[in-house]
Amino acid sequence: MASGIFAILDDIAALMDDVAVTSKVAASKTAGILGDDLAVNAEKATGFLASREIPVLWAITKGSFINKLIIVPIILTLNAYFPEVIKYILILGGFYLAYEGVEKIVEFLFHRAKKGHEVIVEEKAEVGNVEEKSKVKSAIITDFILSIEIVIIALSTVLEEGLPMQIMTVSIIALVATIGVYGIVALIVRMDDAGYKLIRQSNDKGVVSKLGHFLVNALPWVIKALGVIGTIALLLVSGEIFAHYIDYLHDVLTSLPNLLKNAIFGLVGGILVLIVITSIKKIISLAKG
């Protein structure tokens, strides 16, 4: 009896060692998309009144956890029975990400200019605010698309392993992705609060005070940078999906560097979706009028 228990424990220890190895490989493979995920979601989680930043970020984080709970079992099931479907899911997700990226560019070029770090004004910052809910919903949808790619890439590193190994590896990557990404986002959005605290504690004197001022002054620039990086990330991720999974594009623009080619594919894909959505809206508007 005792020997049987020790044998089981030994098997569990061996399995955990294997999971640690496969998780490390999967983490290295998903590092790029995790970086994009961070840039996109950090940009989406900013722009709120200080008192709403953490509640909003927590709402997005909970949405991200739910996304993973939905995605992981579905992707594992599809991979087991309908692996070809994953390809089309990724392509559809790519078009959504491309549209988000192009929409941001159009907003910047043609709509009202935003000065500095625009936030939701105080009187609109209460819980349940429509604009806040809209931003949270948008962030969760984008997280859903990026999470699909993270899960699929993680799964691709353990395709030759058994189902228990696949489940554990993909689940670990999904959990680490959520905690890691939104943990860093939380640090970013609270930069200015940490800076003000340092200034107060040092009585606005000395090196500590200078560090506090640096954090406060750096936040608007960090947010602007994240906005740009997040938009580029959306286009690059979508473009890479198109390049890999749309057969026709394999032989298109082969002379260009992959980064530039992916950016072009993402931009074109986003413009096409924008045209379709704008046309549908106009048709609906004319029909109602």
The pLDDT score that the predictor gives to residue 276 is 94
pTM more than 0.75: no
Average pLDDT, the chain: 77
The pLDDT score that the predictor gives to residue 273 is 94
The pLDDT score that the predictor gives to residue 101 is 87
Is the separation of the CB atoms in 24 and 154 below 8 Å?
A: no
The pLDDT score that the predictor gives to residue 43 is 66
pLDDT averages per 10-residue partition of the chain, 289 residues:
45 48 55 62 65 80 91 89 85 87 87 50 51 81 84 77 81 84 80 84 85 85 78 85 87 88 94 94 84
Is the separation of the CB atoms in 108 and 10 below 8 Å?
A: no
Please name the helix (run of DSSP H) or strand (run of DSSP E) that holds residue 249, with its range, or none: none
Separation of alpha carbons 160 and 66, rounded Å? 27
Q: How does pLDDT run across 219-257, given as a tens digit for each residue?
A: 778 877 877 887 888 888 889 889 888 888 888 888 899
Separation of alpha carbons 104 and 102, rounded Å? 5
Cα distances from 22 to residues 69, 92, 123, 268, in angstroms, run 20, 28, 50, 36
Place of tokens 């030759």: 160
Q: How does pLDDT run across 3-13, given as a tens digit for each residue?
A: 444 344 344 44
The pLDDT score that the predictor gives to residue 48 is 64
The pLDDT score that the predictor gives to residue 13 is 45
The pLDDT score that the predictor gives to residue 271 is 95
The pLDDT score that the predictor gives to residue 254 is 83
The pLDDT score that the predictor gives to residue 112 is 57
Separation of alpha carbons 196 and 193, rounded Å? 5
